[in-house]
Structure 1
Amino acid sequence: MTSKKELFKKKAQELTAIHNSPKPTVLGAFNDIERVKSNIQILPELQAFIRPLTNEQFSQLEQNILTHGCQDALILWETSDYELGRGESELSVYVLVDGHNRYRICKQNTIDFKIMLKTFDGIDAVKDYMIDLQIGRRNLTLEEESYYRGLKYNAQKGKRGIALQLAQEGRGEEVVNIAENLAEQFNVTSRTIKNDGKYAEGLNKLSSELRNDVLQGKGKISKKEIQELANANVPDNSVHNLENLMTKTTKDDSANVDRKEKLLIEIKKLSENLKTKKNCELLAEKALSLKELL
């Protein structure tokens, strides 16, 4: 029995072949392709992986498309609301994976474009694919190189816990050192890869506009300061003003230092008198509080 993934793959190949063929297609096939084009969806969490263009770069791309048409196919992920965790429907939806700027230009100027359907094992696989696409772009800034390496490290690090558990249970392969593996791949040190991970975490705390400015070299904040944002207690994509955030972070850090010192004094006193059950329980409670601040 043909699996759903195999059917998706076959359908994607058929649509791509039909769309890229110079021969006339039957009305049904044409309508099918146009239906897909008219139902393209953009996921903000995936769009965040797209390299930001400067105004000049966007204008140049727009002029090229107006003059020569959209030469490269837009890559779409054929999935469903159920797979995306948005509902129970298993009807196909088409998520834009690559070509966000081209899609915007084509829609604004009513220009036709090609499509290519791809299937993935889930949204994490899509993100891995998109990160690799961005890393392969030419003329990346140093900030962008660090950011995309960090995204790749963080994505793989998130899977390492599962891999370790499977390995311990004898159901998985030997777990590799992610930082060292990526360091060799990108010809940098493992420490650089780990710092890149913090850098990516910190950048993702910024609003998309602010993050784009930093990636284009316009930001007035150091890489170290952005890495420190990774530990700031703020949600992703919520920071619109770096100065206010850094002031708040400095105050929070000072408060944490005072709290640590106070806990250390209390722990020392309690450890000198563990004759009662109450003191032992208090010591355990204080130790846990200190652990959360470290």
Structure 2
Amino acid sequence: MAKKTLAEKMAENSRSVVEALKTNTIGSFSSTENIKKNIIILEELRDLIPPLLETEFLALKENLQKHGCKDPLKVWQTNNQSINITDNPEDIVYVLIDGHNRFQLCHELQIPFNIQIDNFKSITEVRNFMIDFQLSRRNITPQQASYLRGIRYNTEKKIVTNNLFQSKESNIILPNGQNVHLDDSAILENKKLEQKIDEPDGILPNGQNVHLDDSSKKTTAQELGEYFNVDEKTIRRDADFARGLDKFSPIFRKEILAGQVKVEKSKIQKIGKVKDLSGTINSLDELETVYQTLSTEISTQVPSKYSPKSEKLIQERYLKLTDSLNRAYETKTNKEINALKTAFTKFLEAIS
């Protein structure tokens, strides 16, 4: 994927907005002040902003009190329909996409602020821009960066899956132009398909082998790995980490990302791999309980190779193998040779 710099994206968006606003009075003082009073905050976008430590929040507050709000807050000009508001779908709205902490403090302290209006085609484009913008900041922590990259990966995979499953009766067009019909059983297997289509050659649920052309051989993880200059496996681990954190309550997730609560990243990744998890994790105690439960379930599902039951089976098949070997050596008949082959196969199964 071609990567534009943040400066290029910002300039492009700003130019687009300026052109759109030339014919109205949005640039006037009164109109700008009206926009400021009606800025909308979406939780799903606000949660992409890494939380500040208490000391960082207090430092920001002190800085605003001393020097004012110098940098403009970024808002997205869009309409109600694009943010799933059904009333008056074509009405223009302004959504905050950067400066949430400054916005809060400026209102509390009655500090004037400026805005920069940006234009995006969709909320997905906004999310990707916000993730890129946050990852470009120097004060972001490794955990926060991992969470943002994971969100980006999970969003990309969801888009791919949704495109393939627009309707039960639809045919899908693969990158090589091949038309593939998905029946009801394929629709029910969309999670399996999502995993398969991330490989260079995918197997659809109906058994069809999908060969992608050279331009499509990179997986989503490879694409994003190159985009963010990290390893493909790092992106996949980030995805598990993001899915795990998304199973936590917003407050608990914020505490972890802010560094106020210390949790081993591997535990969160393990929880992220669980498809069905009842309820939301609200505290460290609940997290430990869920993690221990998952560990217990895994250990009971995978019996030890050296359990007494396994050892007994191995011994039985070993004796059967030696007996068959002796019989085949002595008789040299096809019947005993075939029996030897069978005994040898079963012995290998027991020890593997």
DSSP 3-state at the match of 1:96: strand
User: Which of 193, 197, 216 is the equivalent residue of 2:258?
Assistant: 216
2:19 aligns with 10
CA distances 1:104-155 after superposition (whole Å, capped 9, x unpaired): 1110011111111111111111110110111011122121121122122222
8 Å Cα contact 2:16/2:119 also seen in 1: no
Query: How many corresponding residue pairs?
Result: 245
Amino acid across the alignment from 1:135: L
Please say which of residues 109-118 and 76-85 is displaced more in the overlay. Answer: 76-85
8 Å Cα contact 2:39/2:93 also seen in 1: yes
2:122 aligns with 122
DSSP 3-state at the match of 2:97: strand
8 Å Cα contact 1:147/1:199 also seen in 2: yes
Amino acid across the alignment from 2:177: E
1:169 aligns with 177
Pairing 1:103-252 to 2, within 5 Å after superposition? 103-161=103-161, 162=163, 165-169=173-177, 174-175=215-216, 176-230=218-272, 231=274, 233-234=276-277, 238-248=280-290, 250-251=292-293
Q: Distance in 2 between matches of 1:38 and 1:100?
A: 14
2:4 aligns with none
- TM-score, normalised relative to structure 1: 0.73
8 Å Cα contact 2:41/2:95 also seen in 1: yes
CA distances 1:45-103 after superposition (whole Å, capped 9, x unpaired): 11000011111111111111111111111111112222222214111111100010110
Q: Cα–Cα, structure 1 residues 226 and 47, in superposed 2: closer, same or farther, change >3 Å?
A: same
8 Å Cα contact 1:9/1:118 also seen in 2: no
8 Å Cα contact 2:26/2:32 also seen in 1: no
8 Å Cα contact 1:74/1:113 also seen in 2: yes
DSSP 3-state at the match of 1:120: coil
Please say which of residues 247-256 and 75-84 is displaced more in the overlay. Answer: 247-256
Q: Distance in 2 between matches of 1:166 and 1:213?
A: 43
Q: Distance in 1 between matches of 2:24 and 2:117?
A: 8
DSSP 3-state at the match of 1:41: coil
Q: Distance in 2 between matches of 1:16 and 1:137?
A: 34
Q: Cα–Cα, structure 1 residues 240 and 232, in superposed 2: closer, same or farther, change >3 Å?
A: farther
Q: Distance in 2 between matches of 1:107 and 1:256?
A: 50
Q: Cα–Cα, structure 1 residues 183 and 12, in superposed 2: closer, same or farther, change >3 Å?
A: same
Q: Cα–Cα, structure 1 residues 12 and 223, in superposed 2: closer, same or farther, change >3 Å?
A: farther
8 Å Cα contact 2:69/2:113 also seen in 1: yes
DSSP 3-state at the match of 2:117: strand
Q: Distance in 1 between matches of 2:136 and 2:24?
A: 27
Q: Distance in 1 between matches of 2:111 and 2:98?
A: 17
- TM-score, normalised relative to structure 2: 0.61
Amino acid across the alignment from 1:184: E
**1:222 CA drift (Å):** 1.1
DSSP 3-state at the match of 2:175: helix
2:38 aligns with 39
Q: Distance in 2 between matches of 1:194 and 1:158?
A: 14
8 Å Cα contact 2:53/2:259 also seen in 1: no
8 Å Cα contact 1:78/1:94 also seen in 2: yes
8 Å Cα contact 2:74/2:99 also seen in 1: yes
**1:225 CA drift (Å):** 0.8
1:72 aligns with 71
DSSP 3-state at the match of 2:51: coil
8 Å Cα contact 1:76/1:96 also seen in 2: yes
1:63 aligns with 62
2:310 aligns with none
Q: Cα–Cα, structure 1 residues 246 and 15, in superposed 2: closer, same or farther, change >3 Å?
A: farther
Which sections of structure 1, spanning at least 5 residues, go unmatched? 1-5, 19-28, 262-294
**1:190 CA drift (Å):** 1.0
**1:7 CA drift (Å):** 8.7
DSSP 3-state at the match of 1:40: coil
DSSP 3-state at the match of 2:146: helix
8 Å Cα contact 2:153/2:220 also seen in 1: yes
Q: Distance in 2 between matches of 1:81 and 1:235?
A: 33
Q: Distance in 1 between matches of 2:119 and 2:151?
A: 22
